[in-house]
Amino acid sequence: MARIPGAPRNQGGPIRRLFVGVVYFLTQRRLGRVIMPIQVTAHHPRIFWGYLQMEQSQMGAKLVDHKLKGLAELRVATLVGCPF
């Protein structure tokens, strides 16, 4: 369990609320729930933006086969004890 509670969708200004709402919606649609790293980084807009850019870059990389990327992610997750 994280020591920092997740950022709610309705916190901040209208643009931030829209941005966080869209990211939460897309994450929930893709993974079935909004994972804690997304919720925690949503507290700081610049870190949140950088985190999302990194994720987009990793998903869009075409140098390695998609199946191999999935296997590498699974291996790293098991090594560090990641619950998802």
56, pLDDT greater than 60: yes
Inside any domain, residue 3: no
81, pLDDT greater than 60: yes
Inside any domain, residue 8: no
- Classify residue 35 by its DSSP letter: -
Inside any domain, residue 7: no
67, pLDDT greater than 70: yes
What is the residue range of 69's domain?
Answer: 14-80
Inside any domain, residue 1: no
What mean pLDDT comes out for the span 61-84? 85
Inside any domain, residue 2: no
Q: Higher model confidence: residue 38 or residue 3?
A: 38
**Best CA proximity match to 72, nearest among 58, 60, 83:** 58
Inside any domain, residue 69: yes
- Residues 62-80 as b or e (16 or more Cβ within 10 Å = b): eeeeeeeeeeeeeeeeeee
Domain count, the chain: 1
What mean pLDDT comes out for the span 11-21? 87
The three-class DSSP label of residue 65 is coil
10, pLDDT greater than 80: yes
pTM: 0.70
